[in-house]
Amino acid sequence: MDEKTGVFLTAAALTVRGGWAVDLVSDMVSSLLDAHWNTHDVDVLASGEDAGGRKLPPHAWMALRRLDWTVTAPGGVRVNDRVVRMAQETAGRILRSAKWRADVTSGVLATWPADPAERTPEEWDAVRAAVPGGQHLPGSVIKARTRQIAAFERKHGRLPADVFELEATPRPAGMLLLSACDGQQTTIERTDAPGRALLRLQLPTRPDPRSYRDWTWVACPISLPPTIPAGAVLHLPTLRIHDGRVRADVAYTHAAPKTRRTGHTVALGVDWGLNTLLAAGAVRLQSNGRMTALGAGGMFRAAGVLAKQHRLRRSSETLHAKADHYQRLTGGHADHALASKHAVLAGEIKRVSARRSNLNTALAWSAARWAVDQAITAGATVIYVEDLRSMEVGGMGRSINTRLSQQVRGRIVNRMRHIAAESGIAVVMVPARNTSRHCPQCLAPLRHRKAPDRPTTPGWKWALCPSCGYQSDRDTGAWKRIAARGLTHQTKTVTDRTAGTMAIHSVVDTLETQAVVTPTAGKTCQDRSKTGPTRRRSTRPAPRRRRAPSPTRPTGPAGQRPEGHAHTDRQRLPRAGHRHQGATTISTPTTGHRPRGAALGAGFHLHTHATPPRWEIPLPDTTPGLGSPN
């Protein structure tokens, strides 16, 4: 609602007014980036000190003002100082994030290899030494930056000077960082109704406001998701325009237990797979140093989602190939006959990309939520995740390698940290060396086979230990090894001060010999051997009848099971239709007994059937006076 006029605004009207504010901020952000997208200015901002040696404020907009990097609105447009703050905050965050890319690019350029497609071990050591924090930097990041520089060299015939020549000035995202404002521009508070909040902010009434009278207060009620606790403190959100609607990314804080680096006795091990995306289970560290597995663990299977993701990726590649072909044919001319087809393909590429992004986001949240729920149920205080950031998939075929490389492991781990922090559960990355190759009970090399009933067929899914006789699914043995390794190496856990993430970077051989999961004692079978003559039992020719007749059958295809013997010599199955079972209830055998009823969907026998849904045929209460069914 517009508080000045009292007029209720529709979603479309709010989107239009919010879009005008986003456009004004984006124009000022672009001006700032164009003026300071260079090595000197980014280094000055990243140094954290101004020209006088004073420490720069942590807020980006305050740091830019200390450096006298100002910006003004376009000519004739009047905006208040809080709108300028939002523009400076956005530009400052972009410039600060460019420092890391600049350092990586400089390190790669300083140690440019003789063959960019294949570095030697000495060249790998040199580039990691030249990049800040390169010892723990994933190799895929260095390879991606190398490919980008190689493409620039093929196009221009020389290497770029730095990342600012390699990459064009970034285009700012269309959003309003309300966190840089104060109460004179926006406020947020909870309402009396649970799960509701009221956001008030000033928005322009025209695309080019000429005075402060063209800015009015707008009250926007917000429905909070159930994931936000009732006692959480709300902070000013970030507004963005998405699919024709105004979205508010609300930040909140609430008290949570502090995660521990050491002192864990119950840990959850998480292993990555292909169709079985995650395999996880808990391991307990006993007081005597022995470790035992708590149950058989579980698996998060996402074969259908991953197959859909793979199909969308192939569709995207096909559309990009067609679009590139049309681009070459049109030569960039808008009046070409194929320009309209190229525009259609460009729109379809955006839609497919959005579907892939939404699918990956949903999959990451679902997998992370499942893993944290497993830890909470087992009472674990730490989750040890296999670290595959520096490993590349190979040796399993082109299609499988691509599918494995496209998995959203980074998103899953980030969301796992976010969800686990609410319960005080630490998430620690563990080296992946030999987690699937060695036995979790004796650390001997495993033999991998195709299936447990095919012990001589080579494969990778089933693992057998020739030393102690252990055998299980490959992923089950892997999560046991990961959890055991994490518990024995928990004193080697280090915390990144910048990102706050925890990791175990190396494996110590003396500690690795203790990472053995002791098998639990199996259940002893009861001795059923015969010790005397068999007791005589009276034969009963027919089952005892009910003491009351069967109730009246309701109208419809379903009813009670008939009292007494049901004839099985009928050639027609009157109850086989409308049974809410498919014709493939069970697989029809080719030899021996052929269950005619099961083949036709009437159940496993002719005289039984599935109970119909209660919402379709209400059954009467027939419980009084029926007696025992025996």
The pLDDT tens digits for 36-51 are: 999 999 999 999 998 8
The average pLDDT across 70-96 equals 92
**Helical (H) or strand (E) element with 494:** strand 494-495
Q: Which residues contact 133 (CB under 8 A, 6 or more apart)?
A: none
Q: How many CA atoms lie within 13 A of 526 on its CB side?
A: 2
Q: Is the pLDDT of residue 252 over 80?
A: yes
The average pLDDT across 368-391 equals 88
Residue 387, SS3? strand
Q: Phi first, then psi: what are they for 596, rounded to 5°?
A: -65, -40
Q: Is the pLDDT of residue 115 over 70?
A: yes
| Ramachandran class of 243: left when φ > 0, alpha when ψ lies in -120 to 50, beta otherwise | left
* Residue 401 confidence (pLDDT): 54
* Residue 615 confidence (pLDDT): 46
Residue 438, SS3? strand
Long-range contacts of 19-24 (CB under 8 A, 24+ apart): 19/174, 19/241, 20/203, 20/204, 20/206, 20/207, 21/83, 21/176, 21/203, 21/204, 22/174, 22/175, 22/176, 22/239, 22/240, 22/241, 23/174, 23/207, 24/73, 24/74, 24/77, 24/79, 24/83, 24/204
Query: 523 is written with which tokens?
Result: 């259940």
455 pLDDT band, cuts 50/70/90, is confident
Query: 174 is written with which tokens?
Result: 């269309």
459 pLDDT band, cuts 50/70/90, is confident
Query: 582 is written with which tokens?
Result: 């498919």
The average pLDDT across 163-180 equals 92
Q: Phi first, then psi: what are they for 497, rounded to 5°?
A: -70, -25
Range with the lowest mean pLDDT among 77-81, 396-400, 520-524? 396-400
> Which has more confidence, 102 or 393?
102
* Residue 16 confidence (pLDDT): 94
The sheet with strand 266-272 has its strands ordered as 291-301, 276-285, 266-272, 382-387, 426-431, 502-503, 494-495
Residue 181 and residue 82 in contact, taking contact as beta carbons nearer than 8 Å: yes
Exposed, middle or buried, 557 (CB in 10 Å: 0-12/13-18/19+)? middle
| Model pTM above 0.85 | no
* Residue 626 confidence (pLDDT): 43
The average pLDDT across 112-132 equals 92
Residue 57 and residue 142 in contact, taking contact as beta carbons nearer than 8 Å: no
Can you tell me the distance from the alpha carbon of 99 to that of 105, in angstroms, rounded to the nearest whole number? 10
Can you tell me the distance from the alpha carbon of 496 to that of 502, in angstroms, rounded to the nearest whole number? 6
Residue 110 and residue 162 in contact, taking contact as beta carbons nearer than 8 Å: no
Can you tell me the distance from the alpha carbon of 64 to that of 513, in angstroms, rounded to the nearest whole number? 54
Percentage with pLDDT > 70 across the chain: 80
Can you tell me the distance from the alpha carbon of 71 to that of 87, in angstroms, rounded to the nearest whole number? 8
- Burial annotation 46-66 (CB, 10 A radius, 16+ → b, else e): beeebeeeeebeebbbbbbbb
Q: Is the pLDDT of residue 303 over 50?
A: yes
Q: Are strands 502-503 and 426-431 parallel, antiparallel or unpaired?
A: parallel
Angle between helices 303-330 and 339-378 (to 10 degrees): 160
* Residue 448 confidence (pLDDT): 86
Closest among 97, 96, 89 to 185, alpha carbons compared: 89
CATH topology of domain 266-303+357-512: Nucleotidyltransferase; domain 5 (3.30.420)
Q: Is the pLDDT of residue 52 over 80?
A: yes
**Helical (H) or strand (E) element with 24:** helix 11-36
Rg of the chain on CA atoms, in Å: 33
Closest among 239, 256, 227, 240 to 188, alpha carbons compared: 239
* Residue 498 confidence (pLDDT): 84
For residue 517, what are the β-bridge partners? 291
> Which has more confidence, 534 or 297?
297
Residue 21 and residue 83 in contact, taking contact as beta carbons nearer than 8 Å: yes
Q: How many CA atoms lie within 13 A of 51 on its CB side?
A: 8
Residue 484 and residue 516 in contact, taking contact as beta carbons nearer than 8 Å: yes
Count Cβ atoms below 10 Å from residue 325 Cβ, excluding itself.
13
CATH topology of domain 180-253: Immunoglobulin-like (2.60.40)
First-to-last CA distance in the chain?
A: 71
pLDDT, averaged across the chain: 83
* Residue 334 confidence (pLDDT): 83
The average pLDDT across 491-498 equals 90
* Residue 103 confidence (pLDDT): 94
What's the DSSP call for residue 445? Answer: B
461 pLDDT band, cuts 50/70/90, is confident
What's the DSSP call for residue 49? Answer: B
Domain locations along the chain: 11-166, 180-253, 266-303+357-512
* Residue 586 confidence (pLDDT): 45
Percentage with pLDDT > 90 across the chain: 51
* Residue 468 confidence (pLDDT): 87
The average pLDDT across 491-512 equals 90
For residue 201, what are the β-bridge partners? 186, 218
* Residue 627 confidence (pLDDT): 44
Q: What angle do CA 252, 258, 264 make, to 5 degrees?
A: 140
Residue 32 and residue 65 in contact, taking contact as beta carbons nearer than 8 Å: no
Residue 218 and residue 201 in contact, taking contact as beta carbons nearer than 8 Å: yes
Residue type, 92: G
Q: Are strands 233-234 and 252-253 parallel, antiparallel or unpaired?
A: antiparallel
Count Cβ atoms below 10 Å from residue 314 Cβ, excluding itself.
11
Per-residue model confidence as pLDDT tens digits over 575-607: 444 444 444 444 445 555 555 544 444 444 444
* Residue 433 confidence (pLDDT): 85
The average pLDDT across 376-402 equals 73
57 pLDDT band, cuts 50/70/90, is very high
* Residue 18 confidence (pLDDT): 93
Q: Is the pLDDT of residue 506 over 80?
A: yes
What's the DSSP call for residue 263? Answer: -
Per-residue model confidence as pLDDT tens digits over 308-333: 888 888 899 899 999 999 988 988 78
